[in-house]
Structure 1
């Protein structure tokens, strides 16, 4: 959906809302944003985002899908945020007449520890479906797997504690082979194991049919292009469809 169309829908029916959380993180990770592309969020800006979330909850009549992740969710490097998979999901839902508002809570450079630290105020709004897409930056950093697992579990627990009825979808992730066979095997296993333990819906691999394909990734070889994001949306929709229907 084009930006003009989304803006029109926002003011006419408060239907399509995309909240992009922008922080300044000095990371040298491959999934981090460059310093020139990230703005530091002041306390006033943070308050504005929180107030906007309250408005969504109070005035909207639709259910809420919150995409909580890193640069893959945030749409890093894209010319238009509407090309990121959360906005593509919104278009799909609207075309089917399904009453859902998709919120993009992706933050470039985010780790599971960072997600754990900000989950509290993100949950100030009512969330019906929570898509959890974190862990890639942990893996690229070589963060101990026990820490990644613990942080993901803490986020899941926080969502469940806030609203036990929230449906949680966990996005699986894999690492490039240069991280070492033992580490990448154990890393990949974290996601299905957490999904089984917590009875979550699982996207086996978010980057299926995109990861490692040069034509579908930006110059850095990691972040999907607009075409790549369409495939990410397809991978998410394969699981989300049965949840929203």
Structure 2
């Protein structure tokens, strides 16, 4: 029996090695993709052929917003998908023909978000970016989080998608993850500076301050995630900037 199984084992090992080699990429060089785009004409190919956008149930006149991030965007702790559906309802109630896609992935860190970013924003009008919590909880000395966030800003601008970038929300200071807030504050300072450097092409959204100003610890479902009330606060902050800056009013299809 062992002799007969040997070819299968060898084949499996070969496939594993091939897969590992194929996964090798320059994940610690977030500017590489941006540089390649800038060297060209700035035109991106339409990657929506196999995406939800190509077979959508909404019209071509609908403004498409993608909420991109980790479990806070995904909506862990909420009863209905976090802030994206709340934001969509608020915008539609205000008269906007919009859809807000939830592109949050639990546990994701900035390198992974940056890696999938161009695919996610293909065919999208507005990108809402909030990432960095997991990078702060489990830091990696091999890269700087802000580099990946800046790369996503630049990719969005080049691809004609309007980027809004949020500060990272705080952890609950009353629980075990209170120590994360020092790293979050530092990252948020970098985010604010990076957005200011790219204004008016990139817009800042301050969900960190919004949480602290509208209930703080009462809005958390655990150390870092939120209740429905907390996600409602986050949705309000995104909407405040979208409407104040008339971002959706100026989009033409």
TM-score scaled by length of structure 2: 0.66
1:93 alignment partner, one of 91, 94, 116: 91
| Residue 79 (structure 2) pairs with residue 79 (structure 1) | yes
Match in the other structure for 2:218: 215
The whole-number CA distance in structure 2 between the counterparts of 1:212 and 1:241 is 23
Quickly say closer, same or farther: Cα 1:133–1:179, change in 2 above 3 A: closer
Paired residue secondary structure (2:51): helix
Match in the other structure for 2:116: 118
Per-residue CA distance 1:70-125 (angstroms, 9 max, x = gap): 111111132322xx21111111111121112211111111111010111132133x
For residue 160 of structure 1, report the CA deviation from its aligned partner.
2.1
Match in the other structure for 1:103: 101
Quickly say closer, same or farther: Cα 1:143–1:180, change in 2 above 3 A: farther
Match in the other structure for 1:178: 179
Residues 65, 100 of structure 2: 8 Å contact kept? yes
The whole-number CA distance in structure 2 between the counterparts of 1:174 and 1:93 is 22
Residues 48, 54 of structure 2: 8 Å contact kept? no
For residue 197 of structure 1, report the CA deviation from its aligned partner.
1.4
Give the length in aligned residue pairs. 192
Paired residue secondary structure (2:239): helix
1:40-189 alignment, distance < 5 Å: 50-56=50-56, 59-81=59-81, 84-124=82-122, 126-144=123-141, 147-163=144-160, 166-173=161-168, 178-179=179-180, 181=182, 183-189=183-189
For residue 55 of structure 1, report the CA deviation from its aligned partner.
2.0
Structure (1 or 2) with the larger CA radius of gyration? 2
For residue 148 of structure 1, report the CA deviation from its aligned partner.
0.5
The whole-number CA distance in structure 2 between the counterparts of 1:180 and 1:132 is 19
The whole-number CA distance in structure 2 between the counterparts of 1:96 and 1:173 is 26
TM-score scaled by length of structure 1: 0.68
Any unmatched runs of 5+ in structure 2?
1-46, 172-177
For residue 204 of structure 1, report the CA deviation from its aligned partner.
2.2
Quickly say closer, same or farther: Cα 1:112–1:100, change in 2 above 3 A: same
The whole-number CA distance in structure 2 between the counterparts of 1:104 and 1:68 is 7
The whole-number CA distance in structure 2 between the counterparts of 1:152 and 1:87 is 24
